[in-house]
Amino acid sequence: MATRYLIVSLPVQSPGTTVNSLWARLQDSISRHSFDTPLYRFNVPDLRVGTLDSLLALSDDLVKSNVFVEGVSHKIRRQIEELERAGGVESGTLTVDGVPVDTYLTRFVWDEGKYPTMSPLKETVSSIQSQVAKIEDDMKVRAAEYNNVRSQLSAINRKQSGSLAVRDLSNLVKPEDMVTSDHLVTLLAIVPKYSQKEWLSSYESLDTFVVPRSSKKLYEDNEYALYTVTLFAKVVDNFKVHAREKGFQVRDFEYSPEAQESRKEELEKLQQDQEAMRASLLQWCYASYSEVFSSWMHFCAVRVFVESILRYGLPPSFLSAVLAPFAKGEKKVRSILEELCGNVHSIYWKSEDDTGVAGLGGETEAHPYVSFTINFV
């Protein structure tokens, strides 16, 4: 599938020429001089023209509005890719009304039920913009809710997997590691990995009421080791001060099976919530991408219609097409299109200094035909 397409329109200018005969000439020229360039008709209906002033005013907004609609399409696609990666699922083929996006473009059919062709063009454009804006707002809310759960889960995971100086210690401690009585208490000390010998040789002398040989190593990571030490409750504060002077950190910790079970249940619930929200958001994104992409292609059809009339005049008489040239072959394709317009001195040619109509659709170069580029990614 190509990811970059040209949407163009050519004027039906010569006496006796019809849209179908011009299409046949374009097909013949492409097949002879650029046979590897996919070429399709782009079916633009007869829309309501209105006044020239209204078309000029609308044209001023079309490029800017297209940037918005196209941008929302890309945002949703990127969100889909992120959600698929997060779920460890293989990327699926994005579809519009049940067909792949490129097929939808190359076989585009105007949806008369959704956008009546007799409606004023400004009304049609406004409808597309409003619909896409609402989808973008919905996505922001849904993505924020999902990301909030992800952030909560990430915070818990950091506590579970960070260094011993900051991580949650409850899953490293067993009931038998802790001694608690009316007089005795067990503390948890965080000892730098390369200071363990010093800890073992000095912890008993950090206070006179430390239980001899009571320290036991529970866990070690890349930076620290986790040790228990049992002492009389009345000297806990003094012991912490002396330990800190030696470079040992005593973590505040109270062993509670109930709290540990509660944290475990919270983690499991967040994991379930995250997966449920991810799956729900992904399904919403699939449906919304279809909706936005369809709106975008209808918007492109409006652009072709408006710019063709402003470029070629009334009554509307032009051929619109979609091409997907390779980068190296685009220059040749454009020369074919120019030839079908007559030449670069065609009556349809406008320079950037003339009316500002050149380079319609945001093209950086002016052409003697309507042309703009769309990118799927």
Burial zone of 254 (CB within 10 Å; 0-12 exposed, 13-18 middle, 19+ buried) = exposed
* Overall average pLDDT of the 285-289 stretch: 96
- Cβ contact 368:335 at 8 Å: no
* Overall average pLDDT of the 143-153 stretch: 92
pLDDT at 23 over 80: yes
Write the pLDDT tens digit of every residue in 349-363.
444 334 334 334 445
pLDDT at 256 over 50: yes
Confidence at 110, pLDDT banded by 50, 70, 90: very high
Confidence at 318, pLDDT banded by 50, 70, 90: very high
pLDDT at 196 over 70: yes
> Which residues, at least 6 apart from 49, have a Cβ–Cβ distance to it below 8 Å?
55, 121, 309, 314, 316
Residue 179 pLDDT: 87
Alpha-helix residue ranges (DSSP H) falling in the chain: 19-33, 52-87, 101-106, 121-161, 196-202, 236-245, 257-312, 330-340
**E strand spans, 156-254:** 184-192, 216-220, 224-232, 249-251
Write the pLDDT tens digit of every residue in 31-88.
999 889 999 999 999 999 888 888 888 988 898 899 999 999 999 999 999 999 988 8
Question: Residue 79 has what DSSP assignment?
Answer: H
* Overall average pLDDT of the 308-313 stretch: 91
Residue 59 pLDDT: 87
Cis bond before residue 325 (omega within 30° of 0): no
Mean pLDDT of the chain: 88
Write the pLDDT tens digit of every residue in 197-216.
999 999 999 999 999 999 99
* Overall average pLDDT of the 244-260 stretch: 85
pLDDT at 342 over 70: no
pLDDT at 147 over 50: yes
Residue 356 pLDDT: 38
- Cβ contact 41:321 at 8 Å: yes
- In percent, how much of the chain has pLDDT > 90? 65
Angle, alpha carbons 340-343-345 (nearest 5°): 145
Write the pLDDT tens digit of every residue in 157-193.
777 777 888 888 888 888 889 888 889 999 999 999 9
Residue 117 pLDDT: 94
pLDDT at 115 over 90: yes
Question: In residues, how long is the chain?
Answer: 377
